[in-house]
A and B are shown apart, each in its own frame.
Chain A
Amino acid sequence: MASNSSGGGSSDRQRIAQQRLRIIAGHLQGPVDGDSAILAAECKAQGSKTDVCREGKTVPRRRQEIMKWNGWGYSDSKFLFNKKGQAEFTGKRYRLSGMIIPGLKDWMEGTFGANLQHKTPATPLLTSSAVQPATLNKAFLEELKSTGIPFSHDAEDRVFRAHGHCLHEIFALREGKFGRVPDMVVWPNCHNDVVKIVELACKHNVCVIPYGGGTSVSSALECPPEETRSIVSLDTSQMNRILWIDEKNLTAHVEAGIVGQDLERLLNESGYCTGHEPDSMEFSSLGGWVATRASGMKKNIYGNIEDLVIHIRMVTPRGVIEKSCQGPRMSTGPDIHHFIMGSEGTLGVVTEVTMKIRPMPEYQKYGSVVFPNFEQGVACLREVAKQRCAPASIRLMDNEQFKFGHALKPQVSSIFTSFLDGLKTFYITKFKGFDPNRLCVATLLFEGDREKVLQHEKQVYDIAAKFGGLAAGEDNGQRGYMLTFVIAYLRDLGMDYYVIGESFETSVPWDRVLDICRNVKARIIQECKDKGVQFPPLSTCRVTQTYDTGACVYFYFAFNYRGLSDPVHVYEQVEHAAREEILANGGSLSHHHGVGKLRKEWMRDTVSNVGVGMLKSVKDYVDPDNIFGNRNLL
């Protein structure tokens, strides 16, 4: 297969023929793997013979075979309006798959003023001729070929790795527009492959951009347009093995290209988990988490990535950086892991990581609480954090998001269920006097052994009751978390109907939570009005993580752009203003999305001049020739 890929530069006929072959080969996964297995064998020899598993990996080299090239997620899963005008989610992968969502149409029409008659379909096919021809570094290419590491300069492969999932990136793809894209893609199979690639890149002055899951929302994967060197996208997806599990110390040594769902599934097979579950975990990779300081939904039990990582191996232009032991904590000067975590691909490629693992929880229970208003909800979360009894996950949605969640309820099968729903609504709004336009919902997830979970649950519900909260059932909670995974698909639906949007996050001290939520939402609405948006935008937020001293807040923002000549520019201006508002209200530049190029301009104010200087001098030492030239962060 490697030879197939590298032949991408030949005539169109040949290319199409090869493409067909590859698709066929894709269906017969076996042979594809067999090919690279030879190379992998070499690596494994140096690694460990306890290579636990590499079956059932999710991400193929040619990602476009199973994933959308111009939207979120799997090609077979998407929202659409069927012939009857009802919203439907296709595919078989999710709980919502194959279901009718009756409320979505009304919600979209009501919230955005969208109309099913006004469509903005995406360009269906990628036209290779629209992609800039690859600038290849001949000498580099020659030497790379001799290493036998698979690579490609096929246009589809290159375009797929030229973007993350920022609105402007997806919008441009849907219009069939491509800016600077990587000139080639390489698929190292192990740590040593990466060492070789980086050595060659240094030798031939080639720019390397590491690529993990491609789920970035900070323009981190965008190729700097001013880059004149050949750009190589280093796709870590084939480095996806768990190399060993150490049950005595409860650690696992894993290759950094593994995506979240594979890591969790493979560990589960051995009875373990990491408990690290970012919303993007289906596609985002371990290396990406390390490089952006990721945060997982269940961090209250398992911790964020910086709490989970024991050991990191990273290949830099200066060589390999790693610690000499696996002590649980060290006092050996500033922690070098903290130069790596959050370096966003500017220093090197994370190849292997040793992580904490935990036995799988015996029992899981979802839950939800309805509060009369957002203020009460926040007060409750604060109290929960104060008493340090937060469940694995606790999230508070504001009223708009509550309504949104409601609109995404799938069609209920029995009259009895809908009758029960009606009864619940009646109880909350009429009997308890909650204003349906003010109430908000917290979703909860408890984990642990059964006894303790139930005890814990009671404690949390007791606190909630003090703030006027009413338990609202497991179903609502579970649906809330399930929606996390499908919400990204929903943006693609919106984009089919003139609606664009995005989410962004921050972290903020407790005393500022309410203020920041109100002010940022109001700022978004005002900016939209000022910028000539014809329809009222959706401007909503939720508190998604609690800490001792503050919380993580997510904002969702979307609007109908009919009547605007440059909707993406308007969108960017509004998001920019919203970020300024966040910073002015004591929020951080980012809680876990990272800085990338999107938020670079605020770095200096965020970490001070000296801080920027410190980071710069690390970069200058580690990568003096700017081989890792994605220009993120600084």
Chain B
Amino acid sequence: MMFLSLQHRDPMLKKRDDFEDMLEERRNSSDLRYALRCYTPVLYKGLAPCKASMLKSMVLQSDQLHHVIGQVSRETGRAADDVQEEASAILEEMAHCLQLSTVRFFAFTLSKVFKTLFRSICVNEEGIQRLQQAIQEHPVVLLPSHRSYMDFLLMSYILYTYDIALPVIAAGMDFMGMKFVGEMLRMSGAFFIRRSFGGDKLYWSVFSEYVKTMLKNGFAPVEFFLEGTRSRTSKSLTPKLGLLNIVMDPYLKGEVYDINVVPVSISYERILEEALYAREMLGVPKPKESTSGLFKARKVLSEDYGSIHVYFGQPVSVRSLAQGRVNRCQFNLVPRHIPRRPSEEIQSFVNDSAYRLVRAQEENMVLKPWVLLASLLLQNHHQDQTAGQKRGMVLEELTAQAVWLRDMFREYGAFLHWPVVLLDICVGGQVKPGEPHSTVTPEEELLSQAVIVLSCASYRNQGLHVFLRPALLASAINAASSNLKQEVFNSFSFLRNMFSNEFILCPGATVQDFEEACYLLVKTGALQVTQQELLVTERGQRTVAFLTSMLDPFLQGYQVVCRFLCEEATENLTEKQFVPAVRKFIIKHLLAGRLRYTEVLSSDLQKNSLAALLRLGAVQKIKGRIKLSKVTYSSVFLLRTCVNLTYNC
């Protein structure tokens, strides 16, 4: 075992920029003048801007596309012209047509909307300056976190405000279904891609060439969401690699000197889609994006969504990421325009980079006091439930605990935004998650309570990344059969592996994560590390207990999925049927009082645990059906041991 020197940089020393509220100026001056002001962004190496139409013809004339068109035409026997036309149609469907007038329209309306919705939109201006610099040096890729539909409008709005080149944004095709709005978005720089186009060579080729052409020519910063879709849980999602692969390709092939990737962390005090998400995860399907839906949604305008913090992170040079990791000579022997599956070396490089970038997003997420309160309230709620009480928490107690937790967060390097006066609006004598209103059946009661718990959990989740590693260690200590380092490490490693679909855990970094966790717990005085053993100190008990119960709902979720698979899964369980079936199973057990956490109803949790079990080989997918494999039992057994040891169920 390697317990190397713990040279981690003290997370408390992390330097972060200050924020400026950009809405303040909007409240004091004319929106119209703002929307019509002179907009002259600096471009990559001072290039003259090129027209969207020119971009299209560059793509259609590219070597790569020519090659693929030829290939498709040979394979399918269709005429090359025919395929070329199809490519052209795909491009037509995909391409953006950025127009300044539309941008100005958005600048005007969004100013109005934002001012009603939000108290403030805080941006780190130093980050903006860094971005401006980065844009002049190398092509730029913007990678914002994705929690809300708001995200990309907000991004463009900010960049317009600060006179920075407007990005072109990869958006899901579902937006295009919205009449008018789709076109508006297109004119403000969105380009649309189909959600899945696995086998379609031509589509992939047009798409990748389009993105690369924009990037290489420094047409505009390319923006996309690493997480692929909006996170419904406020936890970061496992990064999707497709687009990242595409944008890194020009560097790897030497077509540009470097690419700057800028992670952007957007933290909402309250997410617009909050209630929607909870219901979606409980089985109420997501409403299809439609214009009328958008209008119906206008009632949100009357609510208060607090403030938004947008943090533009340090630009990351792809060149420095790849330094010593990728041998670029691998492209020497095949013409670069012939598309090839990335080598294993590159796949693992892109994958690692993706994780690093998502972690960079997480690190600069601003946490509001609500995150801490939600964590404490949820834990309290569960304890109450076990005790069969419904008493909530006394405000003073909550405050005291929150202060304790705040200090812990700070020591772990969290980016806290702590107002001078906490809880200026005092909420009665006791605080607890709200009570459901009129209920009919116990099941409905359960579900409507679950909506509240899941919403609450989504606040808690915002802060999970801060103590994820210590929490894994705390659980591992509880689960391990002894205090021996090796034992604890083994159980840490098992838990970490199990949860790597659930949380952002960089592949292959078990030892580093373990060391980081030890370091943090030792630093805060919760743990003593000797030659052989890891010992929880007297004053560390509280910390360890808190950390363990943070992970408990997840552990129980995974356990219940295992139990379901062992006990109830039929021979013919398809992937589609999985979520409803497991939900039914869980509801049954929750109502019978055999399960503690309503949270396990989250379909997100269920899907993640299935993915983990598939990855670990406990379950197999054969012709779309889910089958237990032979190793399952040992896996399930292990998991149960963990859970059982964590607390006596």
Stretch at the interface among B192-200, B327-335, B554-562: B327-335
Question: Contact: B255 with A605, CB < 8 Å?
Answer: no
- Expressed in whole angstroms, the minimum distance between the Cβ of A586 and any Cβ of chain B is 4
Question: Contact: A522 with B257, CB < 8 Å?
Answer: yes
Residues from chain A with Cβ under 8 Å of B255 in the complex: 515
- Expressed in whole angstroms, the minimum distance between the Cβ of A557 and any Cβ of chain B is 16
Bound together, the chains give a CA A512 to CA B258 distance in angstroms of 16
- Expressed in whole angstroms, the minimum distance between the Cβ of A400 and any Cβ of chain B is 16
B11 at the interface (CB under 8 A from A): no
A18 at the interface (CB under 8 A from B): no
Bound together, the chains give a CA A220 to CA B335 distance in angstroms of 34
Question: Contact: A585 with B328, CB < 8 Å?
Answer: yes
Question: Contact: B329 with A516, CB < 8 Å?
Answer: no
B293 at the interface (CB under 8 A from A): no
A439 at the interface (CB under 8 A from B): no
B16 at the interface (CB under 8 A from A): no
B336 at the interface (CB under 8 A from A): yes
Bound together, the chains give a CA A92 to CA B331 distance in angstroms of 51
B580 at the interface (CB under 8 A from A): no
Bound together, the chains give a CA A500 to CA B254 distance in angstroms of 28
Bound together, the chains give a CA A522 to CA B258 distance in angstroms of 10
Closest to A519 in B: B257
Residues from chain A with Cβ under 8 Å of B332 in the complex: 586
Closest to B322 in A: A584
| A329-379 CB contacts (< 8 Å) to partner B | none
- Expressed in whole angstroms, the minimum distance between the Cβ of B297 and any Cβ of chain A is 48
| A500-542 CB contacts (< 8 Å) to partner B | 511-512, 515-516, 518-519, 522-523
| B288-342 CB contacts (< 8 Å) to partner A | 327-329, 331-332, 335-336
Question: Contact: A511 with B329, CB < 8 Å?
Answer: no
- Expressed in whole angstroms, the minimum distance between the Cβ of B234 and any Cβ of chain A is 39
- The proximity string for B residues 245-268 relative to A, scoring 1 for CB distances below 8 Å and 0 otherwise, is 000000000110110000000000
Dominant SS among interface residues on chain B: loop
Question: Contact: B257 with A518, CB < 8 Å?
Answer: yes
Among B254, B255, B328, B331: residue with most chain A CB under 10 A = B254
Closest to B336 in A: A511
Residues from chain B with Cβ under 8 Å of A586 in the complex: 254, 329, 331-332
- The proximity string for A residues 588-619 relative to B, scoring 1 for CB distances below 8 Å and 0 otherwise, is 00000000000000000100000000000000
Residues from chain A with Cβ under 8 Å of B257 in the complex: 518-519, 522-523
Question: Contact: B254 with A585, CB < 8 Å?
Answer: yes
Contact (A516, B336) CB under 8 Å given A584-B328, A585-B328, A586-B331: no
Partner of A605, one of B254, B258, B329, B336: B329
Question: Contact: B254 with A512, CB < 8 Å?
Answer: yes
A96 at the interface (CB under 8 A from B): no
- Expressed in whole angstroms, the minimum distance between the Cβ of B69 and any Cβ of chain A is 19
| A564-604 CB contacts (< 8 Å) to partner B | 583-586
Bound together, the chains give a CA A523 to CA B327 distance in angstroms of 16
Closest to A522 in B: B257
- Expressed in whole angstroms, the minimum distance between the Cβ of A527 and any Cβ of chain B is 12
Question: Contact: A511 with B254, CB < 8 Å?
Answer: no
Dominant SS among interface residues on chain A: helix
Bound together, the chains give a CA A586 to CA B254 distance in angstroms of 9
Bound together, the chains give a CA A346 to CA B336 distance in angstroms of 37
Bound together, the chains give a CA A373 to CA B257 distance in angstroms of 19
Bound together, the chains give a CA A522 to CA B139 distance in angstroms of 14
- Expressed in whole angstroms, the minimum distance between the Cβ of A250 and any Cβ of chain B is 39
- Expressed in whole angstroms, the minimum distance between the Cβ of A41 and any Cβ of chain B is 55
Residues from chain A with Cβ under 8 Å of B327 in the complex: 584
Partner of A511, one of B258, B328, B335: B335
Residues from chain B with Cβ under 8 Å of A605 in the complex: 329
Bound together, the chains give a CA A518 to CA B336 distance in angstroms of 17
Question: Contact: A515 with B254, CB < 8 Å?
Answer: yes
Question: Contact: B335 with A584, CB < 8 Å?
Answer: no
Closest to B251 in A: A519
Bound together, the chains give a CA A523 to CA B336 distance in angstroms of 21
Bound together, the chains give a CA A512 to CA B332 distance in angstroms of 10
Residues from chain B with Cβ under 8 Å of A585 in the complex: 254, 328
Question: Contact: B329 with A519, CB < 8 Å?
Answer: no
Question: Contact: B336 with A584, CB < 8 Å?
Answer: no
Closest to B258 in A: A522
- Expressed in whole angstroms, the minimum distance between the Cβ of B167 and any Cβ of chain A is 24
Closest to B335 in A: A511
Residues from chain B with Cβ under 8 Å of A522 in the complex: 257-258
Bound together, the chains give a CA A474 to CA B421 distance in angstroms of 81
- Expressed in whole angstroms, the minimum distance between the Cβ of A90 and any Cβ of chain B is 41
Bound together, the chains give a CA A605 to CA B327 distance in angstroms of 11
Bound together, the chains give a CA A583 to CA B332 distance in angstroms of 9
Question: Contact: A516 with B335, CB < 8 Å?
Answer: no
Closest to B328 in A: A584
Bound together, the chains give a CA A564 to CA B336 distance in angstroms of 40
Question: Contact: A519 with B336, CB < 8 Å?
Answer: no
Residues from chain B with Cβ under 8 Å of A523 in the complex: 257
Bound together, the chains give a CA A518 to CA B254 distance in angstroms of 9
Among B258, B332, B336: residue with most chain A CB under 10 A = B332
Residues from chain A with Cβ under 8 Å of B254 in the complex: 512, 515-516, 519, 584-586
Question: Contact: A583 with B329, CB < 8 Å?
Answer: yes
Closest to A585 in B: B254
Residues from chain A with Cβ under 8 Å of B258 in the complex: 522
- The proximity string for B residues 523-545 relative to A, scoring 1 for CB distances below 8 Å and 0 otherwise, is 00000000000000000000000
Bound together, the chains give a CA A585 to CA B329 distance in angstroms of 7
Residues from chain A with Cβ under 8 Å of B328 in the complex: 584-585
| A58-114 CB contacts (< 8 Å) to partner B | none
Bound together, the chains give a CA A585 to CA B332 distance in angstroms of 7
Closest to A520 in B: B257
Bound together, the chains give a CA A586 to CA B255 distance in angstroms of 11
- Expressed in whole angstroms, the minimum distance between the Cβ of B441 and any Cβ of chain A is 66
Partner of B329, one of A515, A518, A584: A584
Among A518, A584, A605: residue with most chain B CB under 10 A = A584
Residues from chain A with Cβ under 8 Å of B331 in the complex: 586
| B68-97 CB contacts (< 8 Å) to partner A | none
Residues from chain A with Cβ under 8 Å of B329 in the complex: 583-584, 586, 605
Bound together, the chains give a CA A523 to CA B254 distance in angstroms of 12
Closest to B63 in A: A511
Residues from chain B with Cβ under 8 Å of A512 in the complex: 254
Bound together, the chains give a CA A602 to CA B615 distance in angstroms of 40
Residues from chain B with Cβ under 8 Å of A584 in the complex: 254, 327-329
Bound together, the chains give a CA A584 to CA B326 distance in angstroms of 10
- Expressed in whole angstroms, the minimum distance between the Cβ of A135 and any Cβ of chain B is 42
Residues from chain B with Cβ under 8 Å of A511 in the complex: 335-336
Bound together, the chains give a CA A590 to CA B120 distance in angstroms of 60
Closest to A523 in B: B257
Residues from chain B with Cβ under 8 Å of A583 in the complex: 329
Bound together, the chains give a CA A522 to CA B257 distance in angstroms of 7
Bound together, the chains give a CA A24 to CA B46 distance in angstroms of 64
Among B257, B329, B331: residue with most chain A CB under 10 A = B257
Bound together, the chains give a CA A586 to CA B333 distance in angstroms of 8
Bound together, the chains give a CA A515 to CA B251 distance in angstroms of 10
Bound together, the chains give a CA A523 to CA B331 distance in angstroms of 19
Residues from chain B with Cβ under 8 Å of A519 in the complex: 254, 257
| A178-216 CB contacts (< 8 Å) to partner B | none
Residues from chain B with Cβ under 8 Å of A516 in the complex: 254
- A/B interface sample: 24 pairs, CB < 8 A: A511-B335, A511-B336, A512-B254, A515-B254, A515-B255, A516-B254, A518-B257, A519-B254, A519-B257, A522-B257, A522-B258, A523-B257, A583-B329, A584-B254, A584-B327, A584-B328, A584-B329, A585-B254, A585-B328, A586-B254, A586-B329, A586-B331, A586-B332, A605-B329
Pairs A-B, 7 closest by C-beta atoms: A584-B328, A522-B257, A585-B254, A586-B332, A515-B254, A519-B257, A519-B254
Q: A residues within 8 Å of B by Cβ?
A: 511-512, 515-516, 518-519, 522-523, 583-586, 605
Q: B residues within 8 Å of A by Cβ?
A: 254-255, 257-258, 327-329, 331-332, 335-336
Question: Given A522-B258, A586-B331, A586-B332, list of 9 further CB < 8 A pairs?
Answer: A515-B254, A518-B257, A519-B257, A584-B254, A584-B329, A585-B328, A586-B254, A586-B329, A605-B329
